[in-house]
């Protein structure tokens, strides 16, 4: 998907081999970044739903106490940090330089 005029970059190696690579437009990169944001948001909503079920259990079973709510909130913050930091690192390592947004936008 091309969202603008696509420029190209010609690279010449010391061995005399030259090849041309297309350069992605800023709009294409912005859409890829936005898609990655939606994926991270979706992961965090799933985590919140799971921890919300745990919070519901504390209402149904009052003996569990407020400590579980505090623990669930701490886990949510920790998972949010881990997802936001390691999402790009992990996917770029596994998919050879691509995140979900980059793969969808064919970058």
Q: pLDDT tens digits, residue range 40-94?
A: 999 999 988 988 887 777 666 666 667 777 888 888 899 999 999 999 999 989 9
Residue tagged 């090849």 (tokens): 19
Residue whose tokens read 């091309």: 2
Rounded Cα distance between 69 and 59, Å, is 10
In a domain, 10, yes or no: no
Residue with tokens 């992961």: 43
What's the number of domains the chain is made of? 1
| H helix intervals, the chain | 26-60, 66-94, 100-104
Is residue 1 one of the residues assigned to a domain?
A: no
19 found inside a domain: no
Mean pLDDT of 13-28: 89
**Is 2 inside any structural domain?**
no
Q: Which domain holds residue 91?
A: 24-104
Question: 6 and 25 in contact (C-beta within 8 Å)?
Answer: yes
Q: Which pLDDT does position 19 carry in this prediction?
A: 87
Predicted local confidence at residue 35, as pLDDT: 97
Is the pLDDT score of 3 beyond 70? Answer: no
Is 11 domain-assigned?
no
- Contact criterion met (CB below 8 Å) for 33 and 101: yes
pLDDT at 65: 65
> Is residue 6 assigned to a domain?
no
Indicate yes or no: pTM above 0.75.
no
């Amino acid at each position: 998907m091309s969202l603008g005029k696509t420029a190209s970059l010609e690279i010449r190696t010391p061995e005399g081999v030259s090849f041309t690579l297309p350069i992605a437009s800023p709009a294409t990169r912005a859409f890829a970044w936005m898609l990655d944001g939606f994926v991270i948001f979706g992961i965090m909503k799933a985590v919140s739903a799971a921890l919300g079920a745990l919070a519901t259990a504390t209402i149904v079973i009052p003996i569990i106490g407020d400590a579980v709510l505090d623990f669930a909130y701490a886990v949510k913050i920790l998972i949010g940090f881990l997802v936001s930091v390691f999402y790009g690192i992990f996917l770029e390592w596994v998919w050879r330089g691509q995140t979900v947004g980059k793969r969808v936008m064919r970058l």
